[in-house]
């Protein structure tokens, strides 16, 4: 079909909406960068008492060293430079910092997932535990983590724990919650008829769990894992702030804000966004593989 | 202790004092073919079951007595709320009676369940969507600890029994409703229980599929010689399938008539046009109507 051939191409159909929003976002970002950095740049020219034109002003907003809002290309350059400009384990490399953060994230995620699943199992199997545990689980999430993190670090530090583990614990503290809630829902999701069938076969509680409750909970598991993995990344980054960590995305953010290095902050933000989407992507891939094996259509 | 003696209970297997004479023309000539004293499989004595609901007490079963013998096909028919499903669930130990005694295979209902005396088929197939047809059939076998080789053998045997050979690797969603229900019947039979309890198994299917499955079920009954307890609210279905029809009535749930229905085991759909069939259907209908008049 010649007419509308390109517009109907599957790639176009799939990526055009994404590209359009990205483009719009870039335009808005550039306009905002000019507007926000204008007075800064003008102030600079006036302090140095040099003459300037509108073109000088605008190009100044695009290349300021410490802009209020860095232009997209500045962020992109800083990000790419951070990734490719140094050997991966150099202290200025974003790869190095990402690795530090991701280690804490993954450890926290695994701990949190295990804790969440164990809590959900306990809650599903005992009415008493449901009554006694559930309020505490909910309470745990009502305290802002920014307030809790330093306390955790201090307490764990007094116990002789430094570095990776305290960060992972904070990350786990955040991410167990969606998993516990999701898995309680998941473990109780089997159809009543399926439960009764198992009963007519005199299935043991363990068989009930492995052959019915667990497989029924799988969709809920992946939904909550996706939420949990981004939260555990945030937890790891937040945990790096009060420790004054020397490495990690959080450390880059902190250092950037100490020295007014806005571009560095933004580059670190981009790095964390890339990490988060990568992590979600991996969970999504695993989910698809599992769903296929479980007969999804 | 119950005072009623066994033989008397066998002859008068009705509840609620309604007098029933188990006589009909079809029974007479079939009686000669039937090997006489059969083993008692289900013995229900004066069972009552009361639910406490938000609207007050609900008598799901009131003083129900019933005897079912080995190899019988017993249909329970009646309007909704008459306790026919509850009856089946009590026998299956999915619910406990408030009073009365109940023996299944000579044991308590709980022990009978633990001894895997029955396979249960619900109105919905309730297959496990993440398991293939083959693995759905294997589920009860896995739970009961059958060997791997035995499981495989039974899957083949029972899938072919319900004419579904070749669908082993399919997932439930790839099968029609009727096929799924056949899988659930095969699953209920797969561990070779003494009884098959079926709660409106074809209720959600259309007439043509239902006729077809009724014929298949009869064949199964003939070839396996299981005792079948079958809940339905279709009169033709009940008369066509059963060797005994239990007519029930609601508020309180009770048995108002027990009708023997001894067409030969290999009956065909055509018997539905015979006078004997219509006569039994008429008697069921009369019973149902009487049950209704009772509380209006």
A129 and A274 in one domain?
yes
Point out the least confidently predicted range of A2-6, A47-51, A81-85, B64-68.
Answer: A2-6
A41 and A129 in one domain?
no
CB contact under 8 A, A202 and B128: no
- What pLDDT is stored for residue B12 in this prediction? 39
- What pLDDT is stored for residue B7 in this prediction? 41
- Side-by-side strand order, sheet with B99-104: B56-69, B40-53, B99-104
Length of chain B: 296
pLDDT at A199 over 60: yes
Query: Two tokens at A271?
Result: 């790095």
The alpha carbon of B129 is separated from its chain's Cα centroid by a whole number of angstroms, namely 26
CB contact under 8 A, B94 and A196: yes
| CATH number given to B26-70+82-117+227-296 | 3.40.50
- Chain A with chain B: Cβ pairs closer than 8 A: 53
Closest chain A CA to residue B141? A201
- What pLDDT is stored for residue A244 in this prediction? 66
- CB contact B94 to A (< 8 Å): yes
- CB contact B126 to A (< 8 Å): yes
Closest CB from A200, A207, A211 relative to B120 = A200
Q: How many domains does chain A have?
A: 2
Radius of gyration of chain A (CA): 25
CB contact under 8 A, B131 and A207: no
At A136-148, the pLDDT tens digits run 988 888 888 888 8
At A208-248, the pLDDT tens digits run 999 999 999 999 999 999 999 999 999 999 888 876 667 88
Q: A249: Cβ–Cβ under 8 A, 6 or more apart, which residues?
A: A97, A98, A100, A101, A236, A237, A240, A268, A271, A272, A275
A182 and A42 in one domain?
no
- What pLDDT is stored for residue B292 in this prediction? 64
- CB contact B111 to A (< 8 Å): no
Closest chain A CA to residue B116? A201
Residue A29 lies in a domain: yes
Closest chain B CA to residue A209? B143
Find out whether A198 and A207 touch, Cβ atoms under 8 Å. yes
Distance CA A191, CA A211 (A): 13
Show which of residues 177-196 on chain B sit within 8 Å of chain A, judged by CB atoms.
191
Q: Residue A210: which domain range?
A: 94-293
Residue A43 lies in a domain: yes
- Give the CATH number, domain containing residue A215: 1.10.3720.10
- CB contact B146 to A (< 8 Å): no
- Side-by-side strand order, sheet with B244-249: B118-121, B195-199, B227-232, B73-77, B244-249, B254-260
Q: From first to last of its 296 residues, what are the pLDDT tens digits of chain B?
A: 333 333 433 343 333 434 444 444 444 444 444 445 678 888 988 888 888 877 778 888 888 889 999 888 999 998 877 888 888 999 999 988 888 888 888 888 888 888 888 999 998 999 999 999 999 999 999 999 999 999 999 999 999 888 889 999 999 999 998 899 999 999 998 998 889 999 998 887 888 888 888 888 888 888 888 899 999 988 888 888 888 989 888 888 888 888 888 777 777 777 888 888 888 888 888 888 876 644 44
CB contact under 8 A, B143 and A211: yes
CB contact under 8 A, B142 and A211: yes
Among B95, B114, B125, B130, the residue to mutate for chain A (most A Cβ within 10 A): B130
At B178-230, the pLDDT tens digits run 899 999 999 998 998 889 999 998 887 888 888 888 888 888 888 888 899 99
Among A189, A192, A198, A201, the residue to mutate for chain B (most B Cβ within 10 A): A201
Per the omega criterion (within 30 degrees of 0), is the bond before A50 cis? no
A232 and A169 in one domain?
yes
Residue A3 lies in a domain: no
Residue A85 lies in a domain: no
pLDDT at A107 over 90: yes
Find out whether B29 and B221 touch, Cβ atoms under 8 Å. no
Q: Which residues on A lie below 8 Å from B92 (Cβ)?
A: 200
A202 and A109 in one domain?
yes
- CB contact B116 to A (< 8 Å): yes
Domain boundary among A36, A69, A102: A69
Residue A74 lies in a domain: no
Q: Which residues on A lie below 8 Å from B128 (Cβ)?
A: 194, 212, 215
What is the pTM assigned to this prediction?
0.80
- What pLDDT is stored for residue A195 in this prediction? 93
Shortest distance between the Cα of B92 and any Cα of chain A, in A, equals 7
- What pLDDT is stored for residue A268 in this prediction? 92
- CB contact A65 to B (< 8 Å): no
A102 and A51 in one domain?
no
Residue A87 lies in a domain: no
Closest chain A CA to residue B138? A211
A63 and A109 in one domain?
no
Distance CA B118, CA B227 (A): 9
Instruction: Categorize the per-residue pLDDT at A4 as very low, low, confident or very high, splitting at 50, 70 and 90.
Output: low
Residue A33 lies in a domain: yes
């Amino acid at each position: 079909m010649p007419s509308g051939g390109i517009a109907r191409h599957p790639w176009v159909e799939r990526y055009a909406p994404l590209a359009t929003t990205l483009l719009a976002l870039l335009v808005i970002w550039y306009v905002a960068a000019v507007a926000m950095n204008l007075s800064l740049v003008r102030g600079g020219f006036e302090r140095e008492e040099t003459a300037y034109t509108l073109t000088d002003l605008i190009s100044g907003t695009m290349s300021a060293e410490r802009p209020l809002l860095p232009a997209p290309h500045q962020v992109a350059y800083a990000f790419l430079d951070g990734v490719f400009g140094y050997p991966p384990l150099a202290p200025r490399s974003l790869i190095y910092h990402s690795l530090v953060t991701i280690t804490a994230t993954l450890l926290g995620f695994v701990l949190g997932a295990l804790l969440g699943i164990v809590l959900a199992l306990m809650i599903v199997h005992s009415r008493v535990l449901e009554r006694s545990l559930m309020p505490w689980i909910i309470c745990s999430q009502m305290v802002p983590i920014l307030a809790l993190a330093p306390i955790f670090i201090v307490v764990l530090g007094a116990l002789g724990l430094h570095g990776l583990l305290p960060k992972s614990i904070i990350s786990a503290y955040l991410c167990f919650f969606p998993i516990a809630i999701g898995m309680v829902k998941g473990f109780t999701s089997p159809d009543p008829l399926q439960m009764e069938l198992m009963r007519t076969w005199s299935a043991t509680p363990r068989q009930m769990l492995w052959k019915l409750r667990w497989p029924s909970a799988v969709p809920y598991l992946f939904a909550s894992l996706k939420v949990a993995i981004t939260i555990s990344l945030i937890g790891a980054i937040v945990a790096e702030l009060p420790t004054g960590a020397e490495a990690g995305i959080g450390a880059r953010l902190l250092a950037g804000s100490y020295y007014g290095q806005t571009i560095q902050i933004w580059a670190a933000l981009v790095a964390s966004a890339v990490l988060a989407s990568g992590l979600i992507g991996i969970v999504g891939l695993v989910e698809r593989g599992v769903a296929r094996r479980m007969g999804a259509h | 202790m119950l005072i009623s003696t066994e033989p008397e209970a066998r002859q008068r297997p009705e509840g609620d004092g309604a007098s029933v004479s188990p006589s009909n023309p079809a029974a007479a000539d079939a009686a000669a073919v039937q090997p006489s004293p059969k083993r008692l499989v289900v013995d229900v004595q004066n069972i009552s079951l009361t639910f406490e609901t938000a609207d007050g007490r609900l008598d799901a079963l009131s003083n129900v007595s019933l005897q079912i013998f080995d190899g019988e096909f017993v249909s329970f028919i009646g309007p909704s709320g008459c306790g026919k499903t509850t009856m089946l669930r009590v026998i299956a130990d999915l619910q406990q009676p408030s009073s009365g005694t109940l023996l299944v295979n000579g044991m308590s209902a709980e022990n009978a369940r633990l001894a895997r005396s029955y396979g249960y088929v619900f109105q919905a197939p309730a297959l496990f969507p993440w398991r293939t047809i083959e693995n759905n059939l294997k589920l009860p076998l896995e739970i009961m600890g059958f060997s791997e080789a035995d499981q495989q053998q039974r899957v083949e045997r029972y899938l072919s029994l319900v004419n579904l050979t070749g669908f082993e690797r399919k997932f439930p969603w790839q099968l029609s409703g009727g096929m799924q229900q056949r899988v659930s019947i095969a699953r209920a039979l797969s561990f070779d229980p003494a009884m098959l309890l079926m709660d409106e198994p074809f209720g959600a299917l259309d007439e043509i599929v239902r006729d077809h499955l009724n014929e298949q079920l009869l064949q199964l009954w003939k070839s396996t010689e299981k005792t079948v307890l079958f809940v339905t609210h279709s009169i033709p279905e009940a008369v066509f399938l059963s060797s005994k029809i239990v007519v029930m009535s609601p508020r309180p749930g009770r048995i108002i008539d027990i009708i023997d229905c001894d067409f030969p085991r290999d009956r065909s759909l055509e018997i539905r046009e015979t006078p004997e069939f219509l006569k039994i259907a008429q008697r069921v209908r009369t019973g149902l109507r009487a049950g209704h008049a009772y509380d209006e």
